[in-house]
Chains A and B, each alone.
Chain A
C-alpha cells in the first residue's frame, strides 16, 4: 500500500515536500524549543478555558451559534490560503509537469495535490482548535474531539473548491493574476474580520444584541443551517453526515478536474511562452548608488501581493485615524506607539522583500561598486517605502499635538534603523516573486521583527506616559 508508486507513497512524498518547506522547519533550531514551550503554555491555557466552559455551561442555542460562527470564519480564512496553496502546487512549485511526464496516473497526482492542500491549510487550525478540544476532553466533554474530523472535513471542501476556482481563474487570467486574486481574497477576509472585531465601537449595543439574537437557532433548532455546527458539537448523525458531504464535494471536484488535468490542459494554462508584453521603461544612470536604488524600488513595486501585505500591516492606522477624527475617546498620545509599531513592521517587511527578491548578489558583487552601496540602497528604498505609508498620519499627529514630534520622530527613526538592519540579516517569511522558487525567510525573523517593533512602541509610550497604567485606568474609568 505504501510502495511506489501507490497513492499513499505519493502522498507521503507530497507531505514531506510540504513539511520541509514549512515555516517551522525552515527556521533556526533554537526557535523550535520556545515554540514547543509556547505550545505547552497554550495547552495549559486551553485546559483552564475548558474547565471554565465546563463549569459555566451555556445553552445549546448559544453553543450552536458559536460553532457555526467558528466554521464560517475558518472557511473564509482557509479558503484564501487554499487558493494560494493551490496556485503553488499546480503552477509555482514546478513539479506538476514533472509528475505528469511520469507514467503515474494523473488522477492520482491530482488527488494527492488536493489532499496536500487540504492538509497544509488545516494543520495550523487543528493545532489551535486541538488545544481547546483536548482540554474539554480532559474535563470529560469528549464530544469536543469531533473538532478534529470536522475541521479535516471542512478542509477537504475548502481545498476542493479553491482548487476548482484556481483552475478556472488560471485558464482565464493566468497563474500570476490567479495568485493575486488569492492575495486579494485574503485581504478582504482579513479586513472583514478586523471590521467585525471593531463593530462594538461603532454599532450601538442594542443593534448588535438584536443581530446576534436573530442568528440564534430558535425553538426548531435552526434546521440545515446548523447541521455542520451540530457535527462540530459531536452529535453523531450530523458529524457523519458532514464528513460524507465533505468527501462527496472533494470527490466531485476531483472527478470534474481529472480529465483536463490528465490531458495537460490545466498545467499547460500556466505555460505561455509568448507572454504578455509589458510596458518597459528604462532610464540609464551614471551613479551606481542611484542605479541600485532604482533597482530596489522596482523590486519592491513588483513584489506579488505588495498591496495586500501593506494594507494588512496598515490596519494599525485604523485606530490612529479614529483617534485623530475623534471617533475614539483616547488621547492623541496613543497614536505615537501605534505609528512606531507600524513603521517597524513595514520596515521589516520591505527589507525582507528586497532580501528575498534580490536573487543575484554575485552579479552586484562582481560590479565595481563599494560593498556598502548594496545594503545602503536597500535600507534607503525600504525606509522610503515605509515612510510613504507612515508620513501622512505622522504629520497629522504632529499638527494636532506638535509636542509629540520630539518623541515620534526619533522613535520612528530608531525602529526603522533597527528593523532594517535586523530584517536584512533575518528576513520574515515571504513567497518569492518568481514561480518555481521556494519560500524564504524564517520564523525567527518574524519574531525578532515584531519584538523590536513592540519594544520601540513601548519605549515611546513609556516616554510619553511615565505611568502607563494610568492610561489603562483612565480607559476603564471612561468605559
Chain B
C-alpha cells in the first residue's frame, strides 16, 4: 500500500488510572528519523506500544504506511519492527537461533535470512558469539542482538525505545550509521532517548512529550522558536519546554 505518510497517529488517548497519553497527534514521513523525547513517565513507551499494536488506544487511530494498526494489525506489523527498552531475548537461545526465529516470524526467505543474519552478526561484532546462549551476554551484547533482530526483516518502519542503552561508543556509532542508511532507503524510524545529543545529531525531527501531550515538534530551530531562545542546545530547549 502506497502512502505519503509512514506514520499517522491522530487523537491518541490512553489511560492507566490516569491519562498517560492525552490527545496525541503524530505524523512521520518516509525517510524521516523522528526522536520522541520526554521526561520519565511522559508517555513515550506507551505511545510506541500503541503504534506497535501492543496496547490498544482508548481513543484515536494509527496508520503505518497506510495500514490501520487497529483494523489490519497483521499487515501493519509485517512492515514494522518494535524494540522495547528492555531487550526481549530468550536467554536459552543463541543469537543465531534468535535471528532464525525472528526471520521465521516475519517469513524472510531462508537463504536471504541466513545471509542477513551473518551480515548483521558480523557488523555488530557478534559473530564470535553467534553460537553462545544469550544468558551470559552483557547488556550491550543483548542490545546488539535485539537490534539485529529488528533489522533482519528489513522493516519499513522501526520503533526503537532507548536503542542506544548499554552500547559502547563504537557500537553506538555503528548503529547510528545503520539507522541512517535504513531511512535513506525509504524507511522511517521513531525512537526515544534520554541522550539529547543523540537526538540532536541523528533526528531529522524531534517531538517533545510532556504529560502525554506533544508540546513541541520540529527541527532544533523550530523548537527554539517555541521557547523564544535564539540559540541554545536541545537540552536547554527541552528543559524549558518540559519545566512545570
Contacts and interface: CB of A to CB of B under 8 A. Distances in A.
Contacts of A1: none
B91 interface: yes
A273 interface: yes
A268 B55 CA distance: 6
Contacts of A438: 91-92, 135
Contact of B77 (A95, A101, A272): A101
B20 A95 contact: no
Interface stretch (A75-83, A139-147, A257-265, A371-379): A257-265
A436 B86 CA distance: 10
23 contacts: A4-B105, A5-B104, A5-B107, A16-B93, A17-B92, A20-B92, A20-B93, A94-B88, A95-B88, A97-B49, A97-B54, A99-B105, A101-B77, A102-B102, A102-B105, A103-B106, A103-B107, A264-B54, A268-B49, A271-B49, A271-B54, A273-B46, A438-B91
A100 B69 CA distance: 12
A286 B215 CA distance: 45
A401 to B, nearest CB: 51
Contacts of A105: 74
Given A103-B77, A438-B91, A438-B92, A4 B54 contact: no
A9 interface: yes
B74 A100 contact: no
Interface of A: 4-5, 9, 13, 16-17, 20-21, 94-95, 97-106, 262-265, 267-268, 271-274, 436, 438
Contacts, number: 85
Contacts of A97: 49, 54, 84, 88
Contacts of A268: 49, 54-56
Nearest to A94: B88
B70 to A, nearest CB: 8
A105 B73 CA distance: 9
Contact of B74 (A17, A103, A263, A274): A103
A22 to B, nearest CB: 10
Nearest to A276: B17
For A101, A263, A265, the residue with the greatest tally of chain B CB atoms inside 10 Å of its CB is: A101
A106 B77 CA distance: 11
Instruction: Pick the 4 closest A-B CB pairs, nearest first.
Output: A4-B104, A20-B92, A103-B78, A102-B105
A9 B18 contact: no
Contacts of B88: 94-95, 97-98
Contacts of A5: 104-107
B117 interface: no
Contact of B52 (A4, A13, A95, A101): A101
Nearest to A263: B56
B53 A274 contact: no
Nearest to A438: B91
Interface residues of B, number: 36
Contacts of A95: 88, 90
A4 B81 CA distance: 18
Interface string B75-103: 10110111010101011110000000111
Contacts of A102: 77, 102, 105-106
A94 B88 CA distance: 7
B56 A265 contact: yes
A339 B103 CA distance: 56
A473 B200 CA distance: 85
B86 A100 contact: no
A274 B18 contact: yes
Most buried by B among A102, A265, A268, A272: A102
Given A4-B104, A103-B107, A436-B86, A264 B53 contact: yes
Nearest to B18: A274
Contacts of A99: 105
Contacts of A272: 16-17
A266 to B, nearest CB: 11
A14 to B, nearest CB: 11
Contacts of B90: 17, 95
B55 A264 contact: yes
Interface in B34-51: 41, 45-46, 49
Nearest to A105: B74
A20 B93 CA distance: 9
Contacts of B45: 273
Contacts of A271: 49, 54-55
A4 B16 contact: no
Contacts of B135: 438
B89 to A, nearest CB: 9
B107 A4 contact: yes
Given A21-B92, A101-B80, A262 B101 contact: no
Contacts of B77: 101-103
B94 to A, nearest CB: 11
Nearest to B77: A103
A8 to B, nearest CB: 12
Given A16-B93, A262-B73, A271-B55, 11 more contacts: A4-B103, A5-B104, A5-B107, A95-B90, A100-B54, A102-B105, A104-B74, A264-B56, A268-B54, A272-B17, A436-B86
